[in-house]
Chains A and B, each alone.
Chain A
Amino acid sequence: AQSVSQHNHHVILSEAASLELGCNYSYGGTVNLFWYVQYPGQHLQLLLKYFSGDPLVKGIKGFEAEFIKSKFSFNLRKPSVQWSDTAEYFCAVISGGATNKLIFGTGTLLAVQP
């Protein structure tokens, strides 16, 4: 069965530190990849997505992610985090013919200390 792994469950950073959150998926065919963010008390919001083309994807709020097919990875990065980036981050995949279903990782809770 397809699965998505997020290696870091809790991450604590100071403001201005760089961020990289890992995401690996198990499906070997065509994939669509997503990062979502959920700020406290708010809805799940799309940060960025990859369908095809340039494997380096830029999203909102200064986030980017790189699709590395050979490593089955789609890591999320931000060069300098802010206190307002405190949230839970979810990686998700739509794979192959199962185009109706997003398969989510377990999420990473990021706390940024001022």
Chain B
Amino acid sequence: NAGVMQNPRHLVRRRGQEARLRCSPMKGHSHVYWYRQLPEEGLKFMVYLQKENIIDESGMPKERFSAEFPKEGPSILRIQQVVRGDSAAYFCASSREPGGREAFFGQGTRLTVV
């Protein structure tokens, strides 16, 4: 029973490039959540998606960030034109039922912008 799989584990991008982070939820889970952990801070909620729908994006920066969870395939968090301040660990979680109470987390993707 594979857990939540995130790839890549580490991603290095130059300023101005695009970053694509992938999250495959646990089998049977149709709810995905993305969190970001900046240095010296706790995890901060970004977005909650259900298959093909964005349910809550209240934590997403207004520009350059987008997320999707298509009918087939992993959830993608996309960051366009990355800046140094985007360097962080990005965690994905998934759940079978709606809401974050029974969510399982992946290992995270550490994004470094140089």
Interface residues of A, Cβ cutoff 8 Å to B: 4, 6, 32, 36, 41-46, 49, 51, 90, 92, 94, 99-107
Contacts and interface: CB of A to CB of B under 8 A. Distances in A.
Contacts of B107: 41-43
Contacts of A42: 107
Given A101-B56, A106-B42, A94 B4 contact: no
A43 B3 contact: yes
Given A102-B100, A106-B40, 12 more contacts: A43-B3, A43-B4, A43-B106, A44-B93, A94-B101, A99-B101, A100-B98, A101-B45, A102-B35, A104-B44, A105-B42, A106-B42
Interface of B: 3-4, 33, 35, 40-45, 48, 55-56, 58-59, 91, 93, 98-101, 103-108
5 contacts: A32-B101, A44-B43, A44-B105, A100-B99, A100-B100
B42 A36 contact: no
Give chain B's interface secondary structure class: loop
Contacts, number: 62
A94 B103 CA distance: 12
Contacts of A49: 101
A44 B43 CA distance: 11
A101 B41 contact: no
B42 A101 contact: no
- Most chain B beta-carbon contacts within 10 A, residue among A36, A46, A102: A102
A104 B101 contact: no
A103 B44 CA distance: 7
Contacts of B91: 44
Contacts of A44: 43, 91, 93, 105, 108
A102 B108 contact: no
